[in-house]
Amino acid sequence: MGPLIVDGIISQSTNFLLAMIIGVAFGFVLEASGFSSSRKLAGVFYGYDAVVLKVFFTAGITAMIGLLFFSLFGWVDLSMVYVNPTYLPSNIAGGVIMGAGFILGGFCPGTSICAASIGKIDALVFIGGLFIGIIFFAEGYAIWEEFYKSGFQGWPRINESIGISQGLMAFVLVIVALSMFWVAEWAEKKFPQKEY
């Protein structure tokens, strides 16, 4: 919950309560937006429904701009924001596995929980597969630990890698998002969903 605990503004218990409230609200919004439908989620890959792309890009852009303004006002120290370390080969392999699972199952981990909460059997099967994958990875970790930790790139930030400011990077990403929204609108018209 940002610097609220560190600065003593809220307690750890309040943090957990707020996290639960935000999580329930997030799930409600996912369900209300139709994200419990595997067809809607798979529609991104087939071009007939770009709602998922629009929602998640909008959320990412909003969070990015919010963090920049919070930093500008001194409310958040961006150097304290955690960035996952980059292990290039395992990050690429994980992305391929996650993407394949998304296309085959029609869910990501969060949306599968959302769909399972309203009783969708395919989501329960997806969650079962997710847990099998977690157990498989954890139990076999000694086998692929070397691969998992190979290609360490540190904690890169894209704007630092290409030598531009965070503000300019934010502007570029907003333009990219708007361009993707335009392409998504075109794709939805070009590849309408077939009615069954």
> pLDDT, tens digit, for every residue of 59-97?
889 999 999 998 888 888 888 888 889 999 999 999 999
CA separation for the pair 34, 51 (Å, rounded) = 9
Tens-place pLDDT, residues 114-166: 889 888 999 999 999 999 999 999 999 999 999 999 999 888 888 888 999 98
Instruction: Specify the pTM.
Output: 0.71
Phi, psi of 154 (to 5 degrees): 85, -145
Residue in the block written with tokens 């292990």 = 87
User: Within 7-152, where are the H helices?
Assistant: 12-32, 38-46, 51-72, 88-105, 109-116, 121-139, 141-148
Nearest of 196, 195, 187 to residue 48 by alpha carbon = 187
Work out the mean pLDDT of the chain and round it to a whole number.
86
Round to the nearest angstrom and report the end-to-end CA distance of the chain.
44
